[in-house]
Structure formats: structure tokens, C-alpha cells
Amino acid sequence: MSNKNSVGKIDKKYFNFAEPPNELLLESGEKLGPIKVAYETYGTLNDDQSNAILVEHAFSGDAHAAGCYEGDEKPGWWDDLIGPGKALDTDKYFIICSNVIGGCKGSTGPSSIHPGTDKPYALTFPVVTIADMVKVQKHLVNHLGIKKLLSVIGGSMGGMQVLQWVASYPESILSAIPIATTLKHSPQQIAFNEVGRQAVMADPAWLNGNYYDYGQPERGLAVARMIGHITYMSDRSMEEKFSRKLKEKNKNLKFTTDFEVEGYLKYRGDTFVKRFDANSYLYITKAMDYFDLSGDKLIPKNKKPEVRFLVIAFKSDWLYPAYQAQDIVKLLKSRNINTTYCEIDSTYGHDAFLVEIEKESHLIRHFLRSVSGENGESDGYSI
């Protein structure tokens, strides 16, 4: 790679555990095992294992957060944030990112082979929750010999996982950076996910989830992605990017792809089906809808975990609007938790957490310096 601040060529790693009869107990009461976890690491773990940061990916993301694979020059999805000298500085920190269970990018999910049938799980895969995903990550962190994470950071669904770490394992983290996220899905957010699920299941090729021998329900999954992608952008960003521009000089006056925005959404849908599994779409969106850490569920009454927070939101994000981030802050403040809130002025909508790297980097870099005690800025926190 030409970027001198890149982590360079990297390899995907795998962690296997929960072999029968020691399967993982899920929130539903069902058991899952064996489990494979795909993950990547960047930087070096120091001698006392005190510099580890866990990066959480969003809904359709994966473990490939930075660097490039051999023979592939496309960098990871947060490459601008992870690397030498960057906000998540690999000269200082040991960065971990894993693919969630229920996904389709290396970790165990509905497209994985069921050891009892030698066929894909499909809909026999148990329903998993954000808490289950984080429980698996805790096993991975333990496997890596890390007792306490310096920080957990992520945007969107990644932010939900950050909050779940606080709820499930507050003693195992020093700080948390939830970005563009919420304590729970609103009815509108659930509604968008349900429309996407119905689009997938309405495709005749879905075959009640048993399509692996025949090919993806591509049209349904593509439509679901098109719906989702609209929510990732803002009205202003769509106006600036597309306005009412036509693909050709004149209107076709037919039901074809006339407008540039139509072509863009179609492209997004068509490329998505090449990299994502339809059943994983169903499972992960459902996990997001079930997520709820409102009230006393994030931090029980009379509890005050020694976790420091940086909460980030974006003014133009209407999928996870700033008021939902403010609800997180209000809850934390009511528990006297050390919390910093920053609302970034951006026109990119929800996608801003992947785009506004310079603004995020400034906030994250200084926050981590303070948490780790650099330059005497620890505010009483020590590792």
C-alpha cells in the first residue's frame, strides 16, 4: 500500500471454542457450539496487556477494519482511523476487531455448516442477541490474555456492542466510545428493519432460508439494502451528490433507471448481495431490534463502574438521531459516570461515522490520551 501510515498487509485469524459438550449458552436459552470467530489484530500488545482496544463493526461490517490482504489493495473499512500515528495509533495500541456471530464473514452464522447435519444451519441457527455477540468477544479477549481493555469503540451497531460491554463486563474495560448509536431501537428503526426482512423473505428464491444449494435471494436482499442505504444518507448529502440529475440527457418516460440516485441505489443493492448472506441480514437486524439497554439495564442502580465515556453523534444523522445519543449521556450523567459528549456538524447523515475521520480522530486521540494517562491527563484513571 502507498499509505505510509497503513498497518500494511494483514491476515485474518480464527479462534475456535465452545466445543461440545461445552457449548456457549445464549440469551435465548439455546446452546451454540462449536464456534469459530474471525478476527484481526493491529499493533503490538504490551507486556502488561494494558494497551488493547476492541473495535466493533457495524451491521454489514466485518473483522477487516484496517490494512490490506495479500493480493487485495482494498483497505479495511476504518483504515483511515487505524494505523501508525492515527487516532487508533498502532504504535501505541493493540487493536482487535472480530466478526460477530450470526454474520457471514468468517464467524459462525446461519451459512456455516451445522456439525450434526453437514449442511448450512440456515434457519436452524439460534436467534442471537447483541449480548451474545459480546459474550463471544469476551471469550476472544480472554483467549488473547487480556484482562482489561483500554477502550471499546464502534459506530451504529458497533456502538450497541460498546454499550453492551459496559452492561455485561464493566470490570473488563476502562473506557467506552459509542458513536452514532442508541440505547434501544425506536419503532421507526424497527420498522425499517422489518421492511428489509420482508423484502428478503418475499423473494421466491429465499426458500424459507434453505437457498444455499440454489443461490441467494438476490432481488429481495438488494431491495433490503437499497432501503437501508437511504437511511444512511441525509437529505442534504443526497441533494449534493445526486440532486435530480438524469443518467442520460433526456427522460426515458419509462420504468427504467432514469435518475442518478436510482442507479446508485441499484448499484449498492447489486454489490451487497455479492458479499453478504441473506439469512445473516435477518438474524443481525433482529438482534439490533431486540437490543435494549434503557433504564437500569445499562448501569443498575447503586452501581458506578469505573468506565469513562466519549459519546459522539452527528447533527444530520436521522437514522440514529442526536437525541438518542443525548439519552445515553443523560443516563450516564444520572449515574455520575465521567462522560464527554460531542455532536459533530456533518452533512453526511449516519454514514458520517465512516466519513468524518478527521473530526472523529481529534476527539478520539485526545480522549484515549487522557484515559491512558499520557501527559499526566489521567483524571484519576490508571491502568
- Which residue is listed with cell 442520460? 248
Quick check: 266 and 305 in contact, CB under 8 A?
no
Written in H, E and C, the secondary structure of 319-336 is CCCHHHHHHHHHHHHHCC
Residues in CB range of 19: below 8 A, 6 or more apart:
33, 34
The amino acid at residue 210 is: N
Residues in CB range of 315: below 8 A, 6 or more apart:
322, 343, 344, 345, 346
The amino acid at residue 134 is: V
Please give the positions annotated as active site: 156, 317, 350
DSSP 181: -
Q: Is the dihedral of CA 121, 123, 128, 129 positive or negative?
A: positive
42: left (phi over 0), alpha (psi -120 to 50) or beta: beta
Q: Which three cell numbers stand for residue 347?
A: 452533512
Best CA proximity match to 296, nearest among 266, 331, 345, 258? 331
Q: Is the dihedral of CA 154, 159, 164, 166 positive or negative?
A: positive
HSE, CB side, 13 Å, CA atoms: give it for residue 336: 4
